[in-house]
Chain A
Amino acid sequence: GAGVSQSPRYKVAKRGQDVALRCDPISGHVSLFWYQQALGQGPEFLTYFQNEAQLDKSGLPSDRFFAERPEGSVSTLKIQRTQQEDSAVYLCASSLLARGTPAQFFGPGTRLTVL
């Protein structure tokens, strides 16, 4: 596709439910990033993939968060037993080469609301 796509665009979950958020990066992009953006805040780094390898997951807030990119293209961010504090916009970004070069291109995000 022409850009990074994410689905669903909006997700409402009851507290305790599991959710899965999908990211389709730009075709051929090596690097893929997940960020979490709370209301009124800047995005915060969650995790980074280079192809299928998850090189950095230091930003994942708890062991309820899990991300994968099994074939080095599409990625899924899974949140188990969702809590109200998980409500945020989850942004995915991809870049052509390693280390986010030349620039990271962002998708529209998935807005997660946990009731």
Chain B
Amino acid sequence: KQEVTQIPAALSVPEGENLVLNCSFTDSAIYNLQWFRQDPGKGLTSLLLIQSSQREQTSGRLNASLDKSSGRSTLYIAASQPGDSATYLCAVERSDSKLTFGKGITLSVRP
């Protein structure tokens, strides 16, 4: 059974800091990996999707990497801003379309 782990559960950083959010998964037979953002009381917004054949994806200040063999992904956020405060979820998709999510990392960026 696929398990996705995100540690720590919460993180607080000062504005402007570069930061890395980690995600690990137990089964490397994945179709793709996605990073989502969730604001309180809201649904999920897809940030980046990395296909299993890819190593990384970039969008603006965000960069996500994938190492299938070691079962790890990182989300790098450059020059963090208070507006980045949210919960960040990592999810892996198997070939049967199911997404398996981690519990998320709640990020707080202090002004």
Binding site for B on A (CB under 8 A): 4, 31, 33, 35, 40-45, 48, 56, 59, 91, 93, 98-100, 102-109, 111
Asked whether, in the complex, the Cβ of B98 is within 8 Å of the Cβ of A48, the reply is yes
Which residues from A are CB-within-8-Å of B43? 4, 91, 106-109
Name which residue of chain B comes closest to A58, CB basis.
B98
Q: A48 vs B98: C-alpha distance in the bound complex, in angstroms?
A: 8
Which residues from A are CB-within-8-Å of B89? 42-43
Which residues from A are CB-within-8-Å of B36? 106
Which residues from A are CB-within-8-Å of B93? 100
By Cβ-Cβ distance, the 6 closest A-B pairs, closest first, are A42-B101, A106-B44, A106-B43, A108-B43, A100-B97, A45-B98
Which residues from B are CB-within-8-Å of A44? 101
Name which residue of chain B comes closest to A98, CB basis.
B97
Chain B interface main SS type:
strand
Is B99 in the interface zone, CB < 8 Å from A?
A: yes
Which residues from A are CB-within-8-Å of B45? 106
| Minimal beta-carbon separation of B5 from chain A (angstroms) | 10
Q: A59 vs B99: C-alpha distance in the bound complex, in angstroms?
A: 11
Q: A45 vs B100: C-alpha distance in the bound complex, in angstroms?
A: 7
Asked whether, in the complex, the Cβ of A42 is within 8 Å of the Cβ of B42, the reply is no
Which residues from B are CB-within-8-Å of A98? 97
Which residues from B are CB-within-8-Å of A93? 44
| Minimal beta-carbon separation of B105 from chain A (angstroms) | 11
Asked whether, in the complex, the Cβ of B97 is within 8 Å of the Cβ of A56, the reply is yes
Residues of chain B from 27 to 71 with CB closer than 8 A to chain A in the complex: 31, 34, 36, 41-46, 49
Asked whether, in the complex, the Cβ of A43 is within 8 Å of the Cβ of B44, the reply is yes
| Minimal beta-carbon separation of B98 from chain A (angstroms) | 5
Asked whether, in the complex, the Cβ of B46 is within 8 Å of the Cβ of A42, the reply is no
Q: A42 vs B80: C-alpha distance in the bound complex, in angstroms?
A: 23
A-B contact pairs, 5 of them (CB 8 A): A40-B103, A41-B103, A42-B91, A45-B99, A91-B43
